[in-house]
Chains A and B, each alone.
Chain A
Amino acid sequence: MDPMIVVDAVSRRYGDRTVVDGVSFAVPRGAITAVVGKSGSGKSTLLRMINRLVEPSAGRVLVGGRDVAEEPGPMLRRRIGYVIQGIGLFPHRTVFDNVATVPRLLGWPRQRVADRVGELLDLLGLPRSFGERYPSALSGGEQQRVGIARALAADPPVLLMDEPFGALDPLIRRKAQQDLLALRARLGTTVVIVTHDLDEALRLGDRIAVMEEGRLLQEGPPEELLRRPAHPAVAALMEGARRALRLLALVSVGDAAEPADPAAVGLAGRPRIDAEASLEEALSVLLWAGADSLAVDGPPGGPPREVTLRAILARARQE
Chain B
Amino acid sequence: MTVPAAGTLPLPAARRGADALAAVLVALALCALCLGPFVSLKPNRIAEGEPLMLWSAVSGPAAAAVLGLLLAGLGALATFPKPAVRILAPASGLAAVFAGVIAASATLVPAGDKLARVSPDWGFWLAATCMALALTDSAARARPSPGLRVLAVAVTWLLVLAVLQAGLLDGLSVMREYAVRSEVFWREMARHVALALGSAAAAIALGLPIGLAIHARAGARDPVLAVLTAIQAIPSIALFGLLMAPLAWLAHAVPAVGALGVRGIGAAPAFIALTLYALLPIVAATVTGLAGVPPTAVDAARGAGMTRGQILRAVELPLAFAAVLSGVRVVLVQTIGLTTVAALIGGGGLGTFVFQGLGQTAIDLVLLGTLPIVAMAVTAGILLDAAAEGLRWTP
Contact = CB atoms under 8 A, between A and B. Distances in A.
A133 to B, nearest CB: 8
Contacts of B299: 53, 84, 88
B307 interface: yes
A78 B304 contact: yes
Contacts of A73: 302, 305
B296 A134 contact: no
A72 to B, nearest CB: 8
B393 interface: yes
B273 to A, nearest CB: 36
A86 B294 CA distance: 11
B305 A75 contact: yes
A242 B222 CA distance: 55
Contact of A105 (B297, B300, B304): B304
Contacts of A144: none
Given A92-B393, A134-B394, A136-B394, A77 B302 contact: yes
B302 A86 contact: no
Contact of B305 (A77, A84, A91, A133): A77
Interface in B298-326: 299-307, 310, 314-315, 318-319
B302 A91 contact: no
A74 interface: yes
B393 A78 contact: no
Interface string A193-208: 0000000000000000
Given A102-B304, A105-B306, A84 B296 contact: yes
B60 interface: no
B394 A91 contact: yes
B306 A74 contact: yes
Interface in B98-152: none
Nearest to A133: B395
Interface in A108-146: 133-134, 136-137
A308 interface: no
B294 A91 contact: yes
B395 A134 contact: yes
A12 B19 CA distance: 64
A268 B318 CA distance: 66
Interface string A249-263: 000000000000000
Given A53-B302, A77-B305, A105 B296 contact: no
Contacts of B314: 90
A90 B315 contact: yes
Contacts of A105: 304-306, 310
B304 A92 contact: no
B303 A84 contact: yes
A79 B304 CA distance: 9
Interface in A131-187: 133-134, 136-137, 147, 150
Contacts of A78: 304-305
A51 interface: yes
A88 B305 contact: no
A53 B303 contact: yes
A53 B393 CA distance: 28
A7 interface: no
A90 B297 contact: yes
Interface string B79-101: 00000000000000000000000
A102 B305 contact: yes
Nearest to B300: A88
Contacts of A91: 294, 297, 319, 393-394
Given A53-B299, A84-B296, A91-B294, A77 B394 contact: no
Nearest to B1: A136
B300 A89 contact: yes
Contacts of B302: 53, 73, 77
A76 interface: yes
Interface in A24-83: 51, 53, 73-79, 82
A87 interface: yes
A89 B303 CA distance: 11
A18 interface: no
A101 B300 CA distance: 10
Nearest to A76: B305
B296 A87 contact: yes
A136 B294 CA distance: 13
Given A87-B296, A136-B394, A74 B303 contact: no
Given A84-B299, A91-B297, A101 B395 contact: no
Nearest to B308: A74
22 contacts: A51-B303, A53-B303, A73-B302, A75-B305, A78-B304, A82-B303, A82-B304, A84-B296, A84-B299, A88-B296, A89-B300, A90-B297, A90-B301, A90-B315, A91-B297, A92-B318, A105-B306, A105-B310, A136-B395, A137-B395, A147-B300, A150-B304
Nearest first, the 10 closest Cβ-Cβ pairs linking A and B are A88-B296, A88-B300, A78-B305, A92-B393, A77-B305, A82-B303, A74-B305, A101-B304, A84-B300, A74-B307
Interface of A: 51, 53, 73-79, 82, 84, 86-92, 101-102, 105, 133-134, 136-137, 147, 150
Interface of B: 294, 296-297, 299-307, 310, 314-315, 318-319, 393-395
Given A84-B296, A137-B395, 10 more contacts: A74-B306, A87-B296, A88-B300, A88-B303, A92-B315, A92-B394, A101-B306, A105-B304, A134-B394, A136-B394
